[in-house]
A and B are shown apart, each in its own frame.
Chain A
Amino acid sequence: MRAESGIEPVHDFSRYLDDRPQDGVFRVHRALYTDPELFELELRYVWERTWVFLGLATQVRDPHDYLTGWIGRQPVLVMRDAGGRIGAFLNSCRHRGARLCASESGNRKYLVCPYHGWAYDSWGRNVALKDHQHGCYAPAFDAEDHDLVPLPRFESYKGLLFGCLDAEVEPLESHLGEARFFVDLVMDQGANGMEFVPGRMKYMYRGNWKLQAENNLDNYHLTSTHPSFMEVVKRRREGESANEQVRSPDFAQRLSRESGMFTFRNGIAAIWVRNPAPQDRPLHRGIEAVRRRVGELRAEWMLNLRNLHVYPSVQLADSTSLIIRTIRPLAVDRTEIGIHCLAPVGEDAESREMRIRQHEDFFGASGLANPDDSVTYEDCQIGSPPGVLDWHQGYDRGMTATLAGANDLAREFGISPVTSLRGPFKIQNETVFHAGHREWLRLMSEGASRERRR
Chain B
Amino acid sequence: MRDDAEAVQAASALLAEEAAAVDERRWDDWLALYLPDCEYWTPCWKDDDELCADPRSELSHVYYRGRAGLEDRVWRIRSGKSPASRPMPRTLHTIANVRVRALGDGRLEVASNWTNHVFSLRTRDTEVFFGRYEHTLAPGDGGLRIARKKIVLLNDLIPTYIDVYQL
Contacts and interface: CB of A to CB of B under 8 A. Distances in A.
Interface stretch (A280-288, A361-369, A438-446): A361-369
Interface string A336-356: 100001000000010011001
A349 B162 contact: no
Contacts of B105: none
A190 interface: no
A232 B76 contact: yes
Interface string B37-79: 0000011111110001001111111111110110111011001
Interface string A163-203: 00000000000000000000000000000000001111111
A25 interface: no
Interface stretch (A134-142, A237-245, A310-318, A385-393): A237-245
A215 interface: no
Interface in B108-167: 122-123, 125, 156-163
A199 B60 CA distance: 7
A97 to B, nearest CB: 22
A204 B69 contact: no
Interface string A225-236: 101110110011
B104 interface: no
Contacts of B97: none
A368 B122 contact: no
Interface stretch (B3-11, B21-29, B80-88): B80-88
Which among B43, B45, B57, B83 has the greatest number of chain A C-beta atoms within 10 A? B83
Given A242-B66, A245-B64, A341 B75 contact: no
Interface in A258-299: none
Contact of A204 (B81, B160, B163): B160
A336 B156 CA distance: 12
Interface of B: 42-48, 52, 55-66, 68-69, 71-73, 75-76, 79, 81-84, 122-123, 125, 156-163
Contacts, number: 150
B157 A204 contact: yes
Contacts of A353: 56-57
A243 B72 CA distance: 8
Contact of A368 (B60, B72, B123): B72
Contact of B79 (A225, A228, A352): A228
Interface residues of A, number: 49
A357 B69 CA distance: 11
A198 B66 contact: no
A356 B161 contact: no
A412 interface: no
A366 B84 CA distance: 10
Contact of B72 (A106, A227, A236): A236
Contacts of A382: 123
B84 A201 contact: no
A128 interface: no
Given A228-B76, A356-B58, A359-B59, 12 more contacts: A199-B43, A200-B46, A200-B59, A201-B61, A243-B64, A243-B71, A245-B68, A349-B57, A360-B60, A366-B162, A371-B162, A372-B82
B83 A376 contact: yes
19 contacts: A105-B48, A197-B58, A197-B59, A199-B60, A200-B46, A204-B157, A206-B123, A225-B83, A241-B68, A245-B68, A336-B157, A349-B57, A356-B57, A360-B60, A365-B162, A371-B162, A374-B160, A379-B83, A379-B122
Contacts of B71: 241-243
A449 B68 CA distance: 59
Interface string A206-220: 100000000000000
Which among A104, A199, A241, A352 has the greatest number of chain B C-beta atoms within 10 A? A199
A3 interface: no
A203 B57 contact: no
Contacts of A360: 59-63
Nearest to A340: B59
A356 B73 CA distance: 18
A404 interface: no
A199 B59 contact: yes
Contact of A352 (B42, B45, B57, B163): B57
Contacts of B64: 243, 245
A250 interface: no
B72 A203 contact: no
A200 B156 contact: yes
Contacts of B61: 201, 360, 364-366
A235 B162 contact: no
Contact of B45 (A200, A203, A243, A379): A200
A359 B60 CA distance: 10
Closest 4 CB pairs of A and B: A199-B59, A371-B161, A199-B44, A371-B84
